[in-house]
Amino acid sequence: MASVTQSPPSASPEATQVVLTAQDVSKRYGSTTALAGIDVTVRAGEILGLVGHNGAGKSTLMRVLAGREQPDAGSVSWRGGAAWNQSAAARAGVRMVYQELALCPDLTVAENIALSDRGARGLAWRRTAERHVAEKLDHVFPGHGIAIVRRTSDLTMAQRQMVEIARALCTPDLAMLILDEPTESLSVDATAQLYAHLRELAASGVAMVLISHRMQEVLANADRIAVMKDGRIVDTVAARATSEQALLSTMGGEVHADTATVRRVSATERADIRQGGTVARITGEGVPFVVQPGEIVGLAGLAGHGQDVLLRRLWTSARGVTVAKRRAYVPGDRQTSGIFPLWSVAENLTVSASRQLSSGGVIRSGRKRALADEWVQRLSVKGGARAPITSLSGGNQQKVLVARAFATDAALVLLDDPFRGVDVATKNELYALMRVEASRGRSIVWYSTENGEMAHCDRVYVFRSGRIVSQLADDDITEDRIIADSFGGDDRTQEDAR
């Protein structure tokens, strides 16, 4: 996704008024310290950015500030009051937009709104909820294309994210909005629309806390930025007085992925690997789609233009598809089709490797433990192999899903926007992992909503209106070229794109 480069909003006249204060807040989950003595204030009419690597404690802190969880020590107060909990937060007009969407999949958009919209009551509750959500969606995301009578399970990830945001915005007398990775599934246009509305809210005196791994978005839209590391806030700075380099240095990470390093595989190795034939092929629809052994192939273009459909066709070996027998798939929605919430990290990680872990049809527990420990260590999964998967941060859960795919002996790994909600340091680890696995002959087909990530691919297919319209390679793989091909121009044949 392209960076959002708007200027930070000017603080409203009320921005000096502190509305929420957290003092010495601590929180533990078993042996894991999630928060270790947090002090933070949020002011009316400001956007407070919150950044930090996966597992730093950001989401836990937000749940505490929203009254969803009680701290083990310390206190949270709203305008100097006491007894901060979920009920008090609701009365004060505090709402949270979750990274893991909290919509009921079997209910319609309007029915989901009615669950939390205090104004949608009485015999006309449905009509009221429909009106409220339609007005919010039309105002914040014009051209959203969402039918409010559809079940939310039928919506795309981007549409569900818009509904989640609209539901929070339907809160009467909204006073504070907490947003946890709100743009991870949104298009460039929808992201710009959201931030324009957030600036409107700030100007009206609404306080906001914004969590995002997209540093440029935080720098462009926040007033102040708090940096978290290991459960603590280690620095708070004015957005105008800092930079992406400075923030990531404080977090303890690098700014940019080392593309040259993660792509470094000798020409001889690549030539030897690709003597093995074709791993996947789809013909007859636009530019022919081909994957060779040892390739990382990217799927780019505007969200919802057919990339996920192609991944599903490869996964299910649909008609007209020639594909390797052994495949692994990392879904885009980890909560509904990714993790097994009642299982441990080890069980989630090894579930797809049953064939290689068994002898005589019996899974060997020693092999299973060794495989889980190897990948937990290799990807630095915070929490360890024995931890419940739900105790991990979203980014660490995503690491487990990626590890699950690569821990198999699959010849083809399919990745559907696998780095959503993952920090820069973790992305660098996973880019390097993909390149190492490709150098060993494994093929990877990868869809990402962030065009900049496509630089790590050998070739990129650009989609528009359900079809592949161009194929890019080497120096042609740029954000500008991908965007240009996504929006129009002459369709290119495979030969033209070489």
Residue ranges of domains in the chain = 18-251, 259-325+411-497
Confidence of residue 379 (pLDDT cuts 50, 70, 90): confident
In terms of pLDDT, which residue wins out, 123 or 128? Answer: 128
* pLDDT at position 418: 82
Task: Provide CB contacts within 8 A for 408, sequence distance 6+.
Answer: 326, 328, 352, 353, 356
* pLDDT at position 41: 94
What six digits make up the tokens of 13?
Answer: 């006249």
Residues 165-218 have pLDDT tens digits of: 999 998 888 999 999 989 988 888 899 999 999 999 999 999 999 999 888 999
Is residue 119 scored above 70 in pLDDT? Answer: no
**Exposed, middle or buried by CB within 10 Å (0-12, 13-18, 19+), for 131?**
middle
H-assigned helices in 204-298: 215-221, 244-251, 259-262, 267-273
One fold for 18-251 and 259-325+411-497: yes
Confidence of residue 266 (pLDDT cuts 50, 70, 90): very low
Distance of CA 55 to the CA centre of its chain: 14
In terms of pLDDT, which residue wins out, 445 or 429? Answer: 445
Q: Is the dihedral of CA 146, 100, 433, 218 positive or negative?
A: positive
* Distance in angstroms (rounded) separating the CA atoms of residues 208 and 176: 5
Task: Provide CB contacts within 8 A for 136, sequence distance 6+.
Answer: 166, 169, 170
Determine how β-strand 289-291 pairs with β-strand 94-97: unpaired
Q: Are 8 and 240 spatial neighbours (Cβ–Cβ below 8 Å)?
A: yes
18-251 belongs to which homologous superfamily? P-loop containing nucleotide triphosphate hydrolases (3.40.50.300)
* pLDDT at position 288: 86
* pLDDT at position 492: 47
Confidence of residue 336 (pLDDT cuts 50, 70, 90): low
* Distance in angstroms (rounded) separating the CA atoms of residues 62 and 46: 16
How many CA atoms are closer than 13 Å to the CA of 36, on its beta-carbon side? 13
Of 84-93, 279-288, 420-429, highest mean pLDDT: 84-93
Please tell me the pTM assigned to this model: 0.72
CA nearest 378: which of 349, 358, 352?
349
259-325+411-497 belongs to which homologous superfamily? P-loop containing nucleotide triphosphate hydrolases (3.40.50.300)
